[in-house]
Every structure is written in C-alpha cells, then in structure tokens.
Amino acid sequence: MSHDVSTDGLNAELDAIEYYFEQGVTDGLPVVPPTEERMQLMLAATSQAADEVVALVPPNFGEASVEKIAVNAVMAGCTPAFLPVVIAGVRAMCDERASLHGVQGTTHTATPLFIINGPIRQQLDINCAAGVFGSGWRANATIGRALRLIMINIGGAHPGEIDKSTMGHPGKYTYCIGEYEEQNPWDPLHVEHGFEPEQSTISVYCCDAPQCVSNHGSRTARGILDTLGASMAVGWSDKTYLAGNYIVVLGPEHANSIAADGMSKQDVKRYLYENVRRPLHELLPGPDGSEGVHRANLPGWLNAADDFSLIPKVSSPDGIIIVVAGGTAGRFSVHMCGWGGGAGRSELVTVPIET
C-alpha cells in the first residue's frame, strides 16, 4: 500500500513534532504542529478576535488570547468545532473561585475536572456514558488535553518545576466528561446552578482521581449511600474532616435507584453530610504527633469539649457536588476529594459556552 506523502513533507512533520518536544511545550505526548493552515481553520470557528485576552492563567498569569488558546487546541488534536468549549473552559478555570493558582503549584494530586452540559454535549459527541473517564472519545480527550496544555504553556505549570504534585494522577493528561442528562433523574448540573436546559455550559472543579465504589446488592437509597459514604469517610486522609469538598459521580443505575426511593439531589447531599461522620476522639491528633482535628479549630456549632461529638466530613451539604454519568450496565459510582480547605478550597465554577 502506498501513501501520497512526499518524503520531504513527512520529514518536515516529524521534525516539527521533535521541535515541540525540544521546546518543552508538550504534555509528554506528541503534539499536532500548529501550521498556518490549521490555525486559520481553528480561528474561523469563533467570532472573537485573535488578540482578545480571555483570561490570565496562573501562576505566571500568562495572557490566554484566543490565538494562544487556538494554538494549544491544535496541538492537542482538537477540531475547530471544539474551540468554543476550550475558550469557555479557560474562562471557567481562571475564575478565582476554582483556585487554579493554588492547584497549579500544590504537592497534592488535584487537577481541574471539566464537566460539559447542554446540547453541545451531543453535537460534539462528548462521552457521558460507558467508560466516561476512559479513552476512546476524541472530544473528551482533546478538549481536556488542550486545557492542560494551556495550564502548562500559558500558565507555566511544568511538571517537576512549578507543578510540584507529589503523585499526580492520569487526569493531568486530560480530565473532561459530559453529564448523562438523559439518565439523570434530577436537574442536571447546569440547571441546578441557574442555567436553562437548552444552554451549553462547561463546569470546572479541582479534584483528585476517581475512587470507584461498587454496590450491586442494594436497591435502596440508604444502602447505596452508606457504601458510598464509607468510602468517602477515608478520602484524602482518614482524619481529614471539615476541610474540603467532594464531587460524587453517580452511575445511572445507582442514581435511578436512589431517586426511585424518593430522594432528591439535595436529599442525597444532606444524607451524606449527616452520616459521613466520626466521633471527635477518633480524629484528635495522636500522641506521636500525627495530624488530626484540633478542638480549637472546630466551628462553634460543634461541642469541642465532648469527645463524642460527631464531626462531619464536609462543612455543609452544599460541599457535595452530584453529577450523573457512566454506563447504564453496572452498579458503580465514583467520588473525588476536592482540593484545599477553608477559604482557599476549590469551588465549582460553571460558565456558558458561546457557540
């Protein structure tokens, strides 16, 4: 079989790929060279001016112009149709509430997770079903990868340099999913946060890698949530309580069983908040100096003098984000700890996608 590609052209393409490795602007995988022709096609997908600055990407606060975003989208393998999603993702992750500045340099494993809602999810074939966190979908892979490249190339968070994550996790290549709205028994994420169902949005939340939870036996909300809560109880650290938030991605079978048992999304949050708790005496720092909960740091609504005060994992029900995604066969869900504690922790940020 012959290919209509000249040797000179092939060598030039390979040389360009090696050039970008040498320049340190990749994520460790080969990138697509952003040729003039590819850039023209990419920029034609938006009405925004090429020199318009969408956001400043921390920690270097590099200017993420539309043109620079497009360069990274080309390198990631995006089609032009994906560019508006990437632009919106930049706007979302650079919102101060997402705490990207801290995440870019932390020793923790957290990285931004992007969640896409609305009609654009189907238009671009963004996976929200079986294998939602896995491989196989160009849109999920390249949109998430483009945003990661922007964090590196514009924000300056090169692994091992600014990015000091001790362990990292695979989401630092790409971390982008859709919500399975057709299987969601409640309002989808973007509607819950004030958007219309027909609007397309991208949400960002900085968190750990997914921790899988299996419960194939329970058909009651309580049975499923007790299993999920037992796993959440040791997230981040078995003594980390009242510190951070959680995102819970319920598989459709779990979500629909919970809803059929009469629980709303807010009921799920309230149940986990009320039941994922441990008595204070189990959480106090150990005599060996191990970390734990300090009485002086407890909020006033808890009795710090009572060793049996039950301390919740999160500070309020709203510290738990609920999303529905994954395959319709298999009673699995996942949860991920959010990044940071107190005022500096990452919050969910949702922005519209301008199409």
Residue 4 pLDDT more than 60?
no
CA 89/CA 149 separation, integer angstroms: 12
Q: For position 1, what pLDDT does the model report?
A: 33
CA 98/CA 100 separation, integer angstroms: 6
Residue 10 pLDDT more than 60?
no
Higher per-residue pLDDT: 315 or 121: 121
Q: What is the pLDDT of residues 267-284, one digit of tens each?
A: 999 999 999 999 999 999
CA 66/CA 52 separation, integer angstroms: 6
Give CA separation, 273 vs 2, 19, 239, 267, 316, in Å. Answer: 63, 51, 16, 10, 7
Q: For position 270, what pLDDT does the model report?
A: 98
Q: What percent of the chain has pLDDT over 70?
A: 95
Residue 5 pLDDT more than 60?
no
> Do 229 and 143 touch, CB atoms closer than 8 A?
no
Q: What value does the mean pLDDT take over residues 91-109?
A: 96
Q: What is the DSSP secondary-structure string of 30-87?
A: ------HHHHHHHHTT-SS-TT-EEEEETTTTEEEEHHHHHHHHHHHT--GGGHHHHH
DSSP state for residue 183 in the 8-state scheme:
G
The three-point CA angle 203-52-159 to 5° equals: 55
Dihedral angle sign, alpha carbons of residues 297, 301, 305, 309? negative
Choose among 44, 182, 211: nearest CA to 117: 182
Peptide bond into 159 cis (omega under 30): no
Please name the residue ranges forming H helices in the chain.
7-23, 36-43, 66-76, 83-93, 100-105, 120-123, 138-153, 189-192, 221-232, 252-260, 265-275, 280-283
Pair type for strands 176-178 and 277-279: unpaired
The residues that bridge with 311 in the sheet, in sequence order, are: 278
Amino acid at 69: I
The three-point CA angle 176-174-121 to 5° equals: 25
The helix (run of H) or strand (run of E) holding residue 133 is none
pTM of the model: 0.94
Residue 178 pLDDT more than 60?
yes
State the Cα torsion 221-224-227-228 to the nearest 10°.
-90
